[in-house]
Amino acid sequence: MANQDTIHSDDFKKDLSNWVIEQAPGGTVSIKDGQMDINDAGGCTVWFKHKLKGPLVIEFTVTMVDEGGKNDRVSDLNCFWMATDPEDPEDLFANKKRGGKFRNYHSLQLYYVGYGANNNTTTRFRRYPGGGARPLLPEHDLKDRRFLHTANKPIRITILSDGQEIEYRRNGETVFKFKDDKPFTEGWFGFRTVRNHMRIDDFKVKQ
């Protein structure tokens, strides 16, 4: 994707007005030291409030925090993109009942990566077709250490959605590449996690 223009960005220097937070009790989402700090206990999705339309590139820098806090588990850098609700495709936020509980997101239509999930033992890509199914192809279930987390070390994530071509990269290295014959071409992006502490910076959407 050449000649990319930045259409959205957030350096987290001011506030969280670009974001919609759905979080179970016990967690917090705030700005600390010019970063979005997600410190979660029971489940959290932080949605970018603007609906996105492809082709596009989403980029952000993230650090998995391990400083002795109760949620510093170094696990579950997860995200949704091109997410829509089949019951209300034009307004993802019409449903006020999700509340950060993971099972409440299974009915959505979206792409999902669970990076370093399950206590930092798996990295998985899924395409949710809507209706609750969550198929997982064997080649999208990675357990190699090089695709898992190192605590307190910033990494750059890049997500490409270019029609049928879907790609997820870490520090420029391709982790997943998927050709979707029926691609999701518009929807919302969200950071997803549970019992995790991470800091996010330099969020950009390019088109």
- The predicted structure's pLDDT at residue 2: 54
Which parts of the chain are beta strand (E)? 6-10, 19-23, 28-32, 35-40, 44-48, 52-53, 56-64, 77-84, 109-116, 122-129, 141-142, 155-162, 165-170, 173-179, 186-193, 196-206
Domain 6-57+68-151+162-201 coded CATH 2.60.120.560: yes
Within 10 A of 7 (CB to CB), how many other CB atoms are there? 13
- The predicted structure's pLDDT at residue 4: 77
| Contact assessment for residue 23 and residue 50, using Cβ atoms and an 8 Å cutoff | no
- The predicted structure's pLDDT at residue 100: 97
Contacts of 177 (CB under 8 A, 6+ apart): 165, 166, 167, 168
Domain ranges in the chain are 6-57+68-151+162-201
pLDDT in tens, the chain (207 residues): 556 799 999 999 999 999 999 999 999 999 999 999 999 999 999 999 999 999 999 999 999 999 999 999 999 999 999 999 999 999 999 999 999 999 999 999 999 999 999 999 999 999 999 999 999 999 999 999 999 999 999 999 999 999 999 999 999 999 999 999 999 999 999 999 999 999 999 999 999
Which tokens go with 142?
């990675």
| Rounded distance between C-alpha atoms, residue 192 and residue 204, angstroms | 17
Residue 117 exposed, middle or buried by CB count within 10 Å (0-12, 13-18, 19+): buried
